[in-house]
A = this chain, B = another copy of it.
Amino acid sequence: MHGEIITIGNELTSGRTVDIDSCHAARRLTAAGLQVTRIISVGDDYEMVSEVLRKAVARSSFVIVTGGLGSTRDDMTTAIVSKSLDRPLCLDQQLLEKIKTYARARRIRITPSLEKMAWLPQGSRILSPDGRACGFSLVEGEVRLYFLPGVPEQMRYLMDEVVVPEILSLYKGIPVTGQRVLKLYGLSEPEIVEIFDGYLEDRGDVEFGFYPNFPENFITITLKGPEEHAVTKELDRIEKEVWQLLGANIFAIDNETMEERVGLMLTEKGLTLSVAESCTGGLVGHRLTSVPGSSGYFQGGVVVYSNRSKIELLDVKQETLETYGAVSDETVREMARGVSERMGTDLGLAITGIAGPEGGSEEKPVGTVHMGLATGKEIFSGKYRFWGDRHKVKLNASTMALDWVRRYLNGDPFLPGV
Copies of this chain held together in the complex: 2
A296 vs chain B, min Cβ distance (A):
10
- Complex-state Cα separation, A197 to B40, whole angstroms: 31
Name which residue of chain B comes closest to A293, CB basis. Answer: B358
Partner of A290, one of B103, B308, B390: B390
The 0/1 profile, CB within 8 Å of B marked 1, for residues 15-31 of chain A is 11111101111111110
- Interface of chain A: mostly helix, strand, loop or mixed: mixed
Name which residue of chain B comes closest to A288, CB basis. Answer: B281
- Complex-state Cα separation, A190 to B106, whole angstroms: 12
- Complex-state Cα separation, A275 to B281, whole angstroms: 11
Q: Decide: A14 and B40 in contact? CB cutoff 8 A.
A: no
The 0/1 profile, CB within 8 Å of B marked 1, for residues 31-46 of chain A is 0000111111111110
Is A342 on the interface with B (CB-CB < 8 A)?
Answer: yes
Partner of A13, one of B19, B36, B388: B36
Partner of A17, one of B13, B52, B213, B284: B213
Q: For A58, what are the chain B residues with a Cβ–Cβ distance below 8 Å?
A: none
Is A299 on the interface with B (CB-CB < 8 A)?
Answer: yes
Given A16-B220, A303-B300, A357-B292, verify A41-B43 contact (CB < 8 Å). no
Q: Decide: B48 and A190 in contact? CB cutoff 8 A.
A: no
A291 vs chain B, min Cβ distance (A):
9
A222 vs chain B, min Cβ distance (A):
8
Q: Decide: B111 and A211 in contact? CB cutoff 8 A.
A: no
Partner of A313, one of B38, B313, B356, B391: B313
- Complex-state Cα separation, A218 to B284, whole angstroms: 29
Given A23-B19, A27-B15, verify A304-B309 contact (CB < 8 Å). no
- Complex-state Cα separation, A41 to B10, whole angstroms: 17
Is A318 on the interface with B (CB-CB < 8 A)?
Answer: no
Is A173 on the interface with B (CB-CB < 8 A)?
Answer: no
Is A312 on the interface with B (CB-CB < 8 A)?
Answer: yes
- Complex-state Cα separation, A168 to B285, whole angstroms: 44
Is A329 on the interface with B (CB-CB < 8 A)?
Answer: no
Is A193 on the interface with B (CB-CB < 8 A)?
Answer: yes
Q: Decide: A305 and B309 in contact? CB cutoff 8 A.
A: no
Is A209 on the interface with B (CB-CB < 8 A)?
Answer: yes
Name which residue of chain B comes closest to A272, CB basis. Answer: B306
Q: Decide: A14 and B37 in contact? CB cutoff 8 A.
A: no
Is A108 on the interface with B (CB-CB < 8 A)?
Answer: yes
Given A285-B303, A303-B275, A305-B299, verify A191-B14 contact (CB < 8 Å). no
Q: For A320, what are the chain B residues with a Cβ–Cβ distance below 8 Å?
A: none
Of A66-74, A78-86, A238-246, the segment with at least 4 beta carbons within 8 Å of chain B is A66-74
The interface of chain A, by Cβ under 8 A from chain B, is 9-20, 22-30, 35-45, 48, 52, 70-74, 103, 106, 108-111, 113-114, 151-153, 179, 181, 188-191, 193-194, 197, 200, 208-214, 218, 220, 274-275, 277, 279-290, 292-295, 298-306, 308-309, 312-313, 342-344, 355-359, 387-392, 394
User: Could you name 7 residue pairs across A and B whose Cβ atoms are closer than 8 Å?
Assistant: A11-B220, A15-B24, A40-B41, A72-B193, A103-B190, A282-B285, A290-B394
